[in-house]
Chain A
Amino acid sequence: MARKFIEKIVTANDLLQGDVIYFTKDNIWSRNHQDAIIAHTIEQANELLEKAEQQQDRIVGAYLSDVFLDEAQIASPLHFREIFRARGPSNYFHGKQTNI
């Protein structure tokens, strides 16, 4: 049996600020994980990544990141590295957590 596809989003870093950003349904980038457009199939994921990578003048290093969906279909990062990226460092109240 084929493995169940794990939903994905596209993430990168902002060229100017270096901040973590997420690709949205409007083909723009958001600083907020919850704004990310979710790929439900591998085809969708690859298509999103390709679109995102066209914006090289705004981003650095786009890649696909696994998420899990809660009952309300809200996506959260799956891997602890992505949880830290979505939050900021644990030793200071810096980065994204200051805006949450």
Chain B
Amino acid sequence: MYQYNQFDKHFVANRAKQFRSQVMRRLDGSLSEEEFRPLRLMNGLYLQLHAYMLRVAIPYGSLNSKQMHQLAYIANKYDKDYAHFTTRQNIQYNWPKLKDVPDILDDLAKVDMHAIQTSGNCIRNVTSDHFAGASIDEIADPRPSAELLRQYSTDHPQFQFLPRKFKIAISGSPNDRAVIKSHDIGLLMKYDESGNLGYEIYIGGGLGRSPFVGKLLKGFLPKADLLPYIEGIMVVYNLNGRRDNKYKARIKILVHENGIEKIKQEVEENFLIQKQNFKQPSDKLISAINERFKLPDFKQANIDNYKIELKQNAQFSNFIKNNISEHKNKDYSIISVSLKNIGETPGDATSKQMQILANLAKQYSHDELRISHEQNIILPHVHKSDLPKVFKELQKANLATNNIGLISDIIACPGMDYCSLATARSIPIAKQIAKHFNELNLEEEIGQLKLKISGCINACGHHHVGHIGILGLEKQGKESYQITLGGEENLSMNIGKRAGPGFSSDELLPAIKRLIEAYLSLRQNPDESFLASYKRLGEKPFINALYPKEEKANVA
């Protein structure tokens, strides 16, 4: 885990101090809301439907137990004893009071955390693979690169007023778990033919109202050139990105309107200019960062107890089947703790649950936790001999839901229950769908299925890349839900296709039921996933299931 040096500590503490003074000036009337708004947004403080919302960055999704304890403490002291983990590896507090926010920022700074650049037209929290540093399929740990980008982009004077927000994601594994192609810049770590480590670079991906799959910008960039190359991209975007229309201001539109070839050429030219005078980070700094991401000191122990428990305890073996991923050390496992307990809000955890996860991380996961973009929490380094004990603790805390990757492991944005931009609610829809398939005991039968719900066109719930996507809109004064089919989020990223007219909130669950029934009857065998069936058969049978002929006739 990266630890702040004196410079980082001073910077973050100073920003918290500045914000305290800005809040005071807003409260005594020296600052108008118009003047204060950009200042609070620069510190992650939004005003939502019912209250302020503070978005705190969890850099590349990595936390230690002390930090998780502090997040729990803040939820308990200043909020309603829970918090929400987001699809951008952030944590959001839904009910802070303005006067308390400076104290919250001070409390965050105590554990090397902050809310800087979690809003505004700047480079946002760099996201990464939630299995980074642990997964067997990893080529290289992406977090040192992510940390370098964090240091480079935090408070970078040139990039505080970009045309629009800017998001970077990095994966160190060919099995992309960071949805890199949906980002302004997506980085995939790889080796070239001579065995040098570097990056494959994608640009102009994004979801939102105009979804685009990121396009290949560079097949291989040597590792040492990362910062000048990123600067080359940022300069091209900063100068040429549209500022006349907010909805056309993201780099994806610049790439779309100019074509990837032209952007490639401009970036290459700019990169060469940047490279000449670029003040590269010192070797000392690079090795100090690398030092923080060394593999933990893995323990050696007999795993017979784990094998016996697997045979004797069906609940345990079901949990292992769905929630465990393969670790690079054969005696270790990665545990995905589902924050999708049936009937509860996707991504929410109580203070108590956060404390329990922090304690488990401290005792059993080399003091590490990760937040996934799928709104779950990861214990990345758990020795197999400890799995039975960890499972029991998770069960006691209502955290042992074994639904990772299944239909009830739904991504859902806060929607109109909280968000001032939302056009419809997401949470009740997610809860209803999860509850239905869980009660019928059908989740396992349906198998791998990514269902993602957004409460507006901004697509925070990633609906475009859900195998089944649901988009909440307003239609004639009521909430209405559009279904998209066939989206995919990995390196073969694909934007789901709209199936047809929207459904009212009452019609939506029956429609999803028809869709799933159709899939179960159409699949070649139980191993053929929903997405595989959709790809094999095309959209027609699924659309027919969503819009049966008699209903069409009734509508007509």
Contact = CB atoms under 8 A, between A and B. Distances in A.
A52 to B, nearest CB: 13
Interface residues of A, number: 25
Contacts of B348: 91
A60 B50 contact: no
A24 to B, nearest CB: 20
Contacts of A81: 49, 416
A35 interface: no
Nearest to B478: A80
A87 to B, nearest CB: 9
Given A18-B98, A56-B29, A95-B51, 14 more contacts: A15-B27, A15-B98, A17-B98, A18-B96, A56-B33, A60-B33, A61-B47, A80-B479, A84-B416, A90-B417, A91-B348, A92-B345, A94-B95, A95-B50
Interface residues of B, number: 30
A6 B208 CA distance: 33
Given A61-B47, A85-B49, A94-B80, A18 B26 contact: no
Contacts of B95: 18, 94
B258 to A, nearest CB: 37
Interface of B: 26-27, 29, 32-33, 47-52, 80, 95-99, 345, 348, 416-418, 425, 427-428, 431, 474, 477-479
Given A16-B27, A57-B29, A80-B478, A90 B427 contact: yes
A81 B49 CA distance: 9
A84 B27 contact: no
A60 B40 CA distance: 13
5 contacts: A15-B26, A17-B98, A84-B416, A90-B427, A90-B428
Contacts of A89: 50, 417-418, 427
A91 B345 contact: yes
DSSP class of A's interface residues: helix, strand, loop or mixed? loop
A10 interface: no
B417 A91 contact: yes
Interface in A64-100: 78-81, 84-85, 88-92, 94-96
A18 B99 contact: no
Given A90-B425, A91-B345, A17 B51 contact: yes
Contacts of A60: 33, 47
B416 A20 contact: no
Contacts of B428: 90-91
A3 B33 CA distance: 35
A79 B418 contact: no
A13 interface: yes
Contact of B80 (A17, A85, A90, A92): A92
B431 A91 contact: yes
Interface in A16-52: 16-20
A61 to B, nearest CB: 7
Contacts of A85: 49-50
A30 B27 CA distance: 19
Contact of B50 (A15, A18, A78): A18
Contacts of B474: 80
A96 B95 CA distance: 12
Contacts of B478: 80
Given A19-B51, A61-B47, A84-B417, A56 B427 contact: no
- Considering the complex of A and B, which 5 residue pairs feature the smallest CB-CB distances, nearest first? A18-B51, A89-B417, A18-B52, A57-B29, A95-B50
Nearest to A96: B50
A16 B478 CA distance: 32
Contacts of B51: 13, 17-19, 95
A92 B345 CA distance: 9
B506 to A, nearest CB: 14
A63 B431 CA distance: 32
A61 B49 CA distance: 11
Contacts of B431: 91
A56 B31 CA distance: 10
A11 to B, nearest CB: 11
Nearest to B49: A85
Tell me which of B29, B51, B345, B431 has the highest count of chain A C-beta atoms within 10 A of its own C-beta. B51
B422 to A, nearest CB: 8
Given A15-B26, A80-B478, A81-B416, A61 B97 contact: no
